[in-house]
Structure 1
Amino acid sequence: MAVSGAMHPKNLLSVSVTKGLHVLGTGDALHPAWQKEWEPFLSNEAGICVVPTGEVEDEHRVHHLILAEDFGQFTQLRELLKSHSKSISTNGRPHVYLSGEEIAKRAHEVGALVGPAHAFTPWTALFAYHDSVASCYNSEKIDFVELGLSADTSYGAGIPDFAGVPFLSNSDAHSPQPEKIGREFNRIRLNGPLSVRCVLDSIRANAIEANAGFFPEEGKYNRTACIRCFTQYSREEAQQHNWRCPADGALIKKGVYDRAGELSRGTPGSRPPYLHLVPLGQIIQTVEGVSSPGTKKCRAIYDAFIVTFGNEIDILVTVPVSEIRAVHPKVASAIEALRENRVTLHPGGGGKYGTFSLIP
């Protein structure tokens, strides 16, 4: 549901190569038909390591991300959860009538890793309904925290409950377009050849070398705002208005920025660097002044970059600006501004994505 009809393993692997990813989560691994679609592609010519992943919604609507070594563990987990869910075999992200603690226990029972998905999002997330990890998971351990599009590591570094817990910057994709796949990614130090087990062991050991993704302000729930007209408010103003927009009476939704501020205490702990990136297609769209990264003009420029340099992440992070300039001077100037943090951000909120402009 709610995804492009082109969301098939072959397309996902192809765009992962274009993007420069080496590890890809399957998503929806509890769904038996989706498991079958993936099985022929677990070993693939692209050399992409495919990690079975799934998301579950608990009885309080909190979403939990689960990572496993193989689909067999998800099959076992489906058996443990099926008596508590009406949609375990029909919905990619099933609703399960259990608490976060009970779901985490069952995930650990089959040997999987589990943690809160998009932990700060004001809908269906840990801190939308709980003020602490223990309130959701009780004494059951979480193996990681997924930050979500509206947060970076600075949002969680000052939260005591997250001390020593790995941060993952992932983003789920609803279409196999390069500006949607790998909007957020992790650089993980492996202690052996690339494999699913090695990836999961590195997450357990908190061997995250860097996180990368959107500027948090680009997320659609970054700031506190009305969910209808998107007018933004300070936390104090929202409280004064009893969380109802004075302009149209709609709900004012607390943003990730304010929610993280409420939960942070003391000096933030040390975390790996966070690379703030904008998808290459979005950069091309911006400098060319067109309506979408999917226009014929944008795609032609994007393809020229991939043919020349191999993959998008290298272009954004490591390829010298002088070499990028030889392909497209305006894109090179934009990437240079991005690397030097010469960016003006216009934060999103209330369900509307934020925007950015690059400073020459």
Structure 2
Amino acid sequence: MPTPVRRIIHIDMDAFYASVEQRDNPALKGRPVAVGHCQERGVVAAASYEARPYGVRSAMPSLIAQRKCPDLVFVPPRFEAYRAVSAQIHAIFARYTSLIQPLSLDEAYLDITHPLLRRASATAIAEEIRASIFEQTRLTASAGVSYNKFLAKLASDHRKPNGLFVIPPGQGESFVAPLPVGTFHGVGPATARRMNALGIHTGADLRACPLDILKHHFGKAAAFYHGIAHGVDNRPVEANRPRKSLGKETTFIEDLHTEADLVHAMTSLAAQVWTSCQKRELSGRTVTLKLRHSDFTQLTRSQSFTDPVGDEATLLKAGVRLLSPLLPLAKPVRLLGLSLTGLVLPGQAEGARQLSLLP
């Protein structure tokens, strides 16, 4: 018997945190809303669709967001409310499959190749899930349906907000071809810039690039990039996969030479990592700095603490403390990364304090 074609659904709630706030506070409906704190080191955790035309995005520093949108309303995050809604959503998913891979409170992959409830199609299941979510939460979700994870996520982004899109078997490669590589999940901004510098701007360009060239420039990730350019992604939906780390890294267009430039870059990384922590309601006990020089030599430095990191400022101070012994720079820096491991859930993180050795 031939192996059945996989049927993958990607569900992504629309502006989740901000939408919950607008639902629970009618005065916020129709207004540009940012979930976060408007302060010097504050970061936007989520932005409503009314805020996005002004250029307000998640992970953006709050003060910049406010400058872009003077009428922006900041609302402090209420993670207990988001967790409650997330539990409702995941209970709906569980009606249809046990193969659920959550990416965050508001986003998940579902493998419904062998669904628990029989329906006419994967599309019918996706529509039923979206309808159930709205009925129970009064919130909208976007859904993508395809035969692998990469295409399902592309599809859910294609009709946001409150939409559904299907990429059927045999059409993945042609769908990917005209899209900018910067829109591909798994291709970050720095990688997209490197691809653009090589003349790779679209999926078709990526498909045309020989695998050995991709390996030379992108190492182990080359096989994944080569596959998605052809609409191929064999990664399974991994139920209950524990997250081991949260981190961000950036490759600079021009190498950095000074301490001030590195600290500035690390400030942005710390903000992004901490936004991920807040979105996933996690923290960690080990801070790791990754640094790659212009000659591609690389080093990492880590520091572990008894208590989990308690806030963005503490994470940044830890990163700067790890950087200090490496100064002055012997060679320019082309890549900088900052990550947290030893992750813990909120209940485990109770009592977290500013680290005493980071004044």
Q: TM-score, normalised by structure 1?
A: 0.29
Higher percent of residues as strand = 2
Q: TM-score, normalised by structure 2?
A: 0.29
If you compute each CA radius of gyration, which structure gives the higher value, 1 or 2? Answer: 2
